[in-house]
Structure 1
Amino acid sequence: MKLNSIGLDEKKSKALSNDLNTLLANFQRYYQNLRGIHWNIKGKRFFELHPKFEELYNDANLKVDMIAERILTLGAVPLHTFEDYSEHSKVPVGKNVTKDEEAIRLIVDSLKELLVIERKILDDSAAADDEGTNAMMSDFITEQEKTVWMMKAWLAEEI
């Protein structure tokens, strides 16, 4: 087994980097969705939702950077083109979303996709003894599960 400069198995790090690039692509689409609903939201809940969507897209932007930097730390290159993001993303595209419930549902659906990817990375990073990636995924999952719960509460739906 050949180790990289941070003491991890190179093959496992490459596989984790590929999964992290998939997560990066999906986070970029999620981020762009949040920007769109922030700009386009209309209705009686505008003053409630507009700043909430800004909070969420600022957080997503930070996470995009963290993911890309982790990919670099593992010795790989982060995806960085819209073509790559479209090719690797499963997060739904939110185009011209103006209604509050549709916007919140888009967030919940997007987070569901991100959580599936993150749980796979969490399992694989644990198996690779990659505590850096593992801790990041654990933190992301904890935050996003809470966001899903809050959004579902806003929709008056059960988890």
Structure 2
Amino acid sequence: MKLNSIGLDTKKTEELAEELNQLLANFQLYYQNLRGIHWNIQGRAFFNLHEKFEELYTEANLKVDEIAERILTLGATPLHTFDDYVKAAKVPIGKNVSVDEKAVELIVNSLTELLKLERSILENAGDANDEGTSAMMSDFITEQEKTVWMMKAWLGETV
């Protein structure tokens, strides 16, 4: 087994970097969705949702950077073109979403896809003994599960 400079199996970190690139692509589209609904939201819930969507896209932007830096730490190159993002993305693309319920549903559906990817990465990071990636995924999952719960509560639904 060949180890990289941070003491992890090179083959396993290459695989993790590929998965992290998938996550990066999906986060970039999630971020764009959030920007779009922040700009376009209308109706009686405008003020509260406009502010909440800004909070969420600010957090997403920070996570994009963290994911890219982790990919670099593992010795790979992060995806960085929208063409790559669209090809790798599984989150739904929200175009011209201005209705409050549709915007919140878009967030829930996007986070559901992100959580699937993050759980897969968490499992594979554990197998690779990659504590850095595991810790990042654990933090992301905990925060996003809470956001899903809150958004579902806003919709009048249960998780």
Range of TM-score over shorter length: over 0.9
Q: Provide TM-score, normalisation by structure 2.
A: 1.00
Stretches of structure 1 that go unaligned for 5 or more consecutive residues are: none
- Match of 1:51? 51
Q: Structure 1 residue 158: deviation in Å?
A: 1.2
Stretches of structure 2 that go unaligned for 5 or more consecutive residues are: none
What are the Cα deviations for residues 10-68 of structure 1, in whole angstroms up to 9, with x where unaligned? Answer: 00000000000000000000000000000000001001100100000000000000000
Cα separation, 2, equivalents of 1:22 and 1:59: 18
- Match of 1:16? 16
Cα separation, 2, equivalents of 1:45 and 1:83: 34
Q: Displaced runs of 4+ in structure 1, greater than 2 A?
A: none
Cα separation, 2, equivalents of 1:156 and 1:28: 28
- Match of 2:127? 127
Cα separation, 1, equivalents of 2:20 and 2:48: 33
What are the Cα deviations for residues 72-108 of structure 1, in whole angstroms up to 9, with x where unaligned? Answer: 0000000000000000000000000000000000000
- Match of 1:98? 98
Cα separation, 2, equivalents of 1:15 and 1:152: 33
Cα separation, 1, equivalents of 2:158 and 2:20: 30
What letter corresponds to residue 98 of structure 1 in structure 2? S
Cα separation, 2, equivalents of 1:75 and 1:48: 41
Cα separation, 1, equivalents of 2:5 and 2:24: 23
Q: Provide TM-score, normalisation by structure 1.
A: 1.00
Cα separation, 2, equivalents of 1:61 and 1:113: 17
Cα separation, 1, equivalents of 2:87 and 2:50: 29
Cα separation, 1, equivalents of 2:131 and 2:154: 34
